[in-house]
Amino acid sequence: MGTIGTSYVVQQGDLFYYKDASVLCLENRCDFESSYLQLLMRSSMIGEQIRFLSAGTTVDTLTIRNATMLLVPVAPAAEQIRIVEKMNKLTPYVDEYGRANKQREQLNQVLPIRLRKSILQAAVEGKLIEQSDDDEPASLLLAGIREKRAQLVREGKAKPVKGGESIIYRDDVGHWFERRGKSDPVCIDEEIPFDIPDSWSWARLGDLIDLKSGIDLDKKLYSDTEKIGIPYITGASNLQNGHVLENRWTDSPKRKSIKGDLLLTCKGTIGEMAYNPFPVAHIARQIMAIKAIDDKMLGYIRLFLLFYVDKVKKAAKGIIPGIERADLTEALIPIPALAEQCHIVEKVDAALQQANTHL
């Protein structure tokens, strides 16, 4: 009853007692070779018959009457022995094939992930695009971003960087230093995760973005049946395969994200991303909205976060996994010139698409 089809051959001289009604004892009256009989009972041919004969009840049951209807191939006694001997020789190879096939299936599951990580790793290390001595230094781009942010702060469109803006540079002997605001420079060699091309620079992600954390709404302030007001983006269920799905709406928004923001899940399921397609939407506390100080950098920032997401997940804290603002704002991001960022994003998108096609 229930799980059926498991068999065991009682050898001559063994005593076997059973009281369980879910066990059938089939007596060998035809002098079958015991090992041959076990092969039969474990074969797919017998298994299919058992499944067919036992179906049709609430709990699958093989009755004594149905068991007597099993059709079995009967070989001469001598041939039974030869069949068993042949199977004993083949079984190790079959088992080895089964293990190899299982390993192949496991590899097929992890290979796309490993390949994706390798492509992203090469991209952020500057190994995906050929470098040139004529490449503009990224330090010029970062200087322009600092000026633009200062202007946005004066206009009330952005907030100053907490603790002062970060400037990261390399000295003449190759050591990396960071100066925040008016503080003295500090060596950060131990924080630098890998080498980057000479024309690139390191920066804190928080200096390049305006990061907005979401806030939950009381249930009475939104609807999941009527499209009243604007979309209410609550979490990973709304961010699927790079698209944003709407299933709640509110006319009492408190934390707004605008079209083009990069939305990132930061609670529960971490690291799902998509661009906000709506003119305006309310975001819950499971969502962070990222806007680049230089809009043209957002694609590269998204690519970096795809690479960084594993570290983000490891930084998750609490019973419900989650990341804090500092996990992102303090992240060190390698920065190439803007033109190279665009080429890298195009190259990565093409490489990932090709990899997915062939896997």
Nearest residue to 6 (alpha-carbon basis) of 41, 31, 30: 41
pLDDT, mean of residues 317-323: 73
Instruction: Report the range of poorest mean pLDDT among 10-19, 201-210, 241-250, 298-307.
Output: 10-19
Written as six digits, the tokens of 308 are: 């960084």
Q: What is the mean pLDDT of residues 254-264?
A: 96
| 286-313 mean pLDDT | 91
Quick one: pLDDT at residue 4?
A: 66
Predicted pLDDT at 177:
96
SS3 category, 158: coil
90 compared with 259, residue with greater pLDDT: 259
pLDDT tens figures, 121-152? 899 999 988 877 777 899 999 999 999 999 99
Q: Among 63-72, 84-93, 256-265, 332-341, name the one with the lowest average pLDDT.
A: 63-72
Q: pTM of whole model > 0.85?
A: no
**140 or 29: whose pLDDT is higher?**
140
Listed in sequence order, the DSSP H helices in 238-337 are 298-314, 325-329
Name the one residue in this structure whose structure tokens are 């131990």. 190
Of the pLDDT bands very low, low, confident and very high (cuts 50, 70, 90), residue 253 is very high
Higher pLDDT, 111 or 211: 211
Q: Which of 333, 334, 332, 329 is nearest to 159 (CA)?
A: 329
Q: Residue 275 pLDDT > 90, yes or no?
A: yes
| 221, 200 contact by CB (below 8 A) | no
User: What's the mean pLDDT in 225-252?
Assistant: 92
The pLDDT of residue 315 is 65
- Residue with the two structure tokens 């609490």: 318
For residue 211, what are the CA distances in angstroms to 235, 238, 326?
Answer: 17, 19, 10
Neighbours of 194 (CB within 10 A): 10
Residue 359 banded pLDDT, cuts 50, 70, 90: very low
- Segment 316-342 shows an average pLDDT of 87
Higher-pLDDT residue of 267, 113: 267
User: Given a cut of 50, is residue 156 above it in pLDDT?
Assistant: yes
Tokens of 105: 């299936």
Given this model, what pLDDT does residue 358 score? 46
pLDDT at 104 exceeding the cut of 80: no
**pLDDT averaged over the chain?**
84
Kindly state the average pLDDT of the residues 261-267: 94
Residue 184, class by beta-carbon neighbours within 10 Å (0-12 exposed, 13-18 middle, 19+ buried)? exposed
Paired tokens of 244: 């944003």
Pairing state between β 262-265 and 230-233:
unpaired
Check pLDDT > 60 for residue 15.
Answer: no
3-state secondary structure 232-251: EECCHHHEECCEECCCCEEC
Q: Beta-carbon neighbour count of residue 154 at 10 Å?
A: 9
Q: What is the DSSP letter of 70?
A: -
Confidence class for position 286, pLDDT limits 50, 70, 90: very high
Across residues 267-290, what is the average pLDDT? 94
pLDDT at 94: 78
| pLDDT (0 to 100) of residue 300 | 96
Give the residue-averaged pLDDT of 66-94. Answer: 81
| Average pLDDT rounded to a whole number, residues 246-262 | 95
Residue 278 contacts residue 243 (beta carbons within 8 Å)? no
pLDDT of residue 70: 78
